[in-house]
Structure 1
């Protein structure tokens, strides 16, 4: 039999139940993307005058790996280089059907540029001759000015293992495609206008590049400006 005391007790318990709150679920961070092992061509390069270390594992996402892709610009001759700054990708036209694609880092805000240049010449382990505009921003680079002969090649030289020099109408643009990119910066806008590549990729591109070829840097929808060599 339900007594008055039992009725009151049940009512009190019901009231407590009505006031109870359901605990909020603890948010769970999504798992970090799993980056597969790098291709063998990103291992250390043993036969260079200066060390070219292996690219560290777990940093470089697959879309930035060197790879053969469909040629998006079949109208251009073999050897044409096309840079897409917004996607931070460089394409070397192999044939009307195929291109080799590389991940790069490109000019930061205020240093981006676009247009068509000519591959005037290329250098292995180049000297870095710092232009006056960069020295004005970074006076500590004055010892490596053009007049003082630049920075010798080797470790610490930001031009890396290879460099391609870009000219317009016979005039040096001061922009380069060069090595020594930090793999953590690949795919980003970080340079003073130059196109940076991993040393392994810069060596690969250097071996394929054609003197006098067109280098087309597409307009960026993000930024514009004037930069210099780095």
Structure 2
């Protein structure tokens, strides 16, 4: 089913120069200020969740277990009922609730908790997952280096690893044949899930982005829902 949509100027539009300027800026490292605020003990955590977010020693870079003290249980990966007009295989990012859905058959979806772009860098629209990469190199755009001169050392690319802003996987979002410079990527910072912490990209826990990347087919549609996006039909 075809759909039309309208976006405000501050959102993700085909052909806007601001999109490229803000691009991969969303993949910057993040401080642990939020973590310092989340000191309350979590409710009891099931063994299944602990196992789901346990260490991944067989990855190219061994991924430590998620510190579940800093992850609200609402953002645990889980299969949920999800009514949508989108076809199975579509990725839907619900920016209002900090969720990413991978649509399945029969009204179901796999839901992941997400960290999103902070005010001034948020975006929304429709595109496709062109491809994904394991443990990718991250190259900050020139505009970001101008804003953050300390990133100059990575002008030609930051090698992969746990401290790389793209983390364990990156899924690359295109419109047509054009790279939007936005990514879905991994993070080890559990306290950032459920918050607007980056400059535009969608971040999932390393464990969740690996799970998603293993299941999303290249070329799948992605819809990023924003407050000014309307669909018809």
Matched residue, 2:31: none
Report the Cα offset of residue 96 of structure 1. 3.4
Question: TM-score, normalised to structure 1's length?
Answer: 0.77
Q: Does 1:167 align with 2:174?
A: yes
Preserved CA contact (<8 Å) 2:68 2:190: no
Shift of 1:186: 0.7
1:64 aligns with 2:75: yes
Q: 1:99 maps to what in 2? A: 109
Are 1:78 and 2:88 counterparts?
Answer: yes
Q: RCO greater where, 1 or 2, for CA within 8 Å and sep 6 or more?
A: 2
Post-superposition offset of 1:132: 1.3
Residue in structure 1 matched with residue 57 of structure 2 by the alignment:
46
Within the candidate set 177, 183, 191, 1:176 is matched to 183
Between the aligned partners of 1:155 and 1:64, the Cα distance in structure 2 is 21
* 1:177 aligned counterpart, secondary structure: strand
Cα shift readout 1:79-130 (whole Å, capped 9, x = no counterpart)? 1000011211000011132100000100000000000011111000000011
Query: Per-residue displacement from partner, 1:5-38 (whole Å, max 9, x unpaired)?
Result: xxxxxxxxxxxxxxxxxxxxxxxxxxx5742225
Deviation at 1:181?
Answer: 4.5
Residues 23-54 of structure 1 deviation map (CA, whole Å, 9 limit, x = unaligned): xxxxxxxxx57422250110111110102010
CA contact (8 A) 1:36 1:58 kept: no
In the superposition, the TM-score normalised over structure 2's length comes to 0.76
Q: Compute the RMSD of aligned alpha carbons.
A: 1.4
CA distance in 2, matches of 1:35, 1:59: 11
> Match of 1:89?
99
In the alignment, the residues of structure 2 paired with residue 186 and residue 62 of structure 1 have an alpha-carbon distance, to the nearest angstrom, of 11
- Choose the corresponding residue for 1:219, options 202, 226, 229: 226
Question: Could you say which residue in structure 2 is the equivalent of 1:192?
Answer: 199
Residue equivalent to 1:14:
none
Are the counterparts in 1 of residues 162 and 188 from structure 2 also a CA contact under 8 Å? no
Equivalent-residue separation in structure 1 for 2:193 and 2:82 (angstroms) = 22
Aligned partner of 1:36 in structure 2 is 44
Choose between structure 1 and 2: higher strand proportion.
2
Show the counterpart of 2:126. 116
* Paired position in structure 1 for 2:153: 143
Q: Which runs of 5+ in 1 are unaligned?
A: 1-31, 222-230
Once the two structures are superposed, residues 123-175 of structure 1 have per-residue CA deviations (whole angstroms, 9 ceiling, x without a partner) of: 00000011112111111112222xx2x11101210110000000112111110
Q: Which has the larger radius of gyration?
A: 1
